[in-house]
Amino acid sequence: MTTTGNDTKAVRNGRDVTSEIAYLTRSLKAPALRDSVARLADRARSEGWTHEEYLAACLQREVAARDSHGAEGRIRAARFPSRKSLEDFDFDHQRSVKRETISHLGTLDFVVGKENVIFLGPPGTGKTHLATGLGIRACQAGHRVAFATAAQWVTRLAEAHANGRLADELTRLSRIPLIIVDEIGYIPFEPEAANLFFQFISGRYEHASVIVTSNKPFGRWGEVFGDDTVAAAIIDRLVHHAEVISLKGDSYRMRGRDLGRVPTASTGE
Ligand code: ADP
Ligand code: MG
């Protein structure tokens, strides 16, 4: 009978096919694909998927696994000070920023468009949290990201300069699609540092995105950079294609507390 013949063939092939898939997925270095083949085949049979639908579902699992692995590596490489997500941000507490504005930035159109984002506001209002949340989104979407404070960036640039590698370093940095410069304004810049920082920002202009945070309004960046002209040039480069978001209010850390009390511990502002 034909059915018996087919069954025999299916059993024989079933054995061959299982080991063949194990071999092929090993060659492809596709463990998620290997793990999904049998499980999804059961679903495909019970739900009547076409062959193409089944193939797409298997491949999709492998792609998703690779994307998330890549994201984890990019998040580690970015050196965020802590993991903060846009989902964890409490917009009911921080009323001065619209949820829709951040959701829109979260689509990462600004990275693709090589635009900047600037968060201004007093300490504790959520600037670093939002910058990090956007950075993590970018990592998840496949973009390389690098995070450091303004002081750390300047130290890095000064080292490269001292070693005669500044041009190389600026070129290397200009290839990273999103750089986050946290805490402009906490430490004033020496003239040499301000000049390096200007070159750094200029190198990214219309080329790659920057997110910056600052506790000082633009009007006080002259003090930060020690020179009004340099500050104006930096601001000009940054704001030309940028979303500027001003955060207001008391520190989130002090919410619900007696503000007369001296905080016992602070985790690095
Ligand atoms: P800033 O960089 O403006 O000084 P942070 O982003 O570091 O402030 O915020 C201080 C702390 O409070 C962080 O732990 C941050 O996650 C938290 N925080 C601030 N604002 C919010 C908010 N609206 N919702 C949730 N957490 C917040
Ligand atoms: Mg901060």
Instruction: Please name the residues in contact with 248: beta carbons below 8 A apart, sequence gap of 6 or more.
Output: 96, 121, 122, 125
Residue 130 structure tokens: 């939002």
pLDDT at 193: 96
Alpha helices in 79-216, H assignment, sequence order: 99-106, 109-112, 127-140, 150-162, 166-174, 191-204
The end-to-end CA distance of the chain, in Å, is 79
Helix (H, G, I), strand (E, B) or coil at 245: strand
CA-closest residue to ligand 1 atom 12: 252
| Cα distance between residue 169 and residue 161, in whole Å | 9
- The structure tokens 């506790």 sit at 215
Q: What is the pLDDT along the chain (269 residues), one digit of tens a residue?
A: 444 444 545 555 666 899 999 999 999 999 999 999 999 999 999 999 999 999 999 998 888 888 778 999 999 999 999 999 999 999 999 999 999 999 999 999 999 999 999 999 999 999 999 999 999 999 998 899 999 999 999 999 999 999 999 999 999 999 999 999 999 999 999 999 999 999 999 999 889 999 999 999 999 999 999 999 999 999 999 999 999 999 998 888 878 765 555 555 544 44
For the stretch 78-101, what's the b/e string if a residue is b when 16 or more beta carbons lie within 10 angstroms of its beta carbon? bebeeebebeebebeebeebeeee
Q: Ligand 1: which of 125, 129, 216 to mutate, judged by most atoms within 8 Å of the beta carbon?
A: 129
Residue 173 structure tokens: 């940095």
Ligand 1 atom closest to Cα of residue 125: 3
Q: Tell me which H or E stretch contains 52.
A: helix 51-78
- The structure tokens 């000070």 sit at 81
Give residues (CB < 6 A) around ligand 1.
84, 88-90, 93-94, 121, 123-129, 213, 252-253, 269
Ligand 1: distance of its center to the CA of 204 in Å?
27
Ligand 1: distance of its center to the CA of 84 in Å?
9
| Cα distance between residue 41 and residue 36, in whole Å | 8
| Cα distance between residue 55 and residue 74, in whole Å | 29
| Cα distance between residue 78 and residue 100, in whole Å | 26
Ligand 2: distance of its center to the CA of 258 in Å?
22
pLDDT at 67: 78
Ligand 1: distance of its center to the CA of 125 in Å?
6
pLDDT at 9: 53
Quote the DSSP letter at residue 87.
Answer: G
Residue ranges and CATH numbers for the domains of the chain are 11-72 (no CATH), 79-246 (3.40.50.300)
Angle at which helices 191-204 and 150-162 cross, to 10°: 100
Bridge partners for 213 per DSSP: 119
CA-closest residue to ligand 1 atom 25: 89
Residue 60 structure tokens: 């999709």
Say how many residues make up the chain. 269
| Cα distance between residue 220 and residue 64, in whole Å | 46
CA-closest residue to ligand 1 atom 23: 90
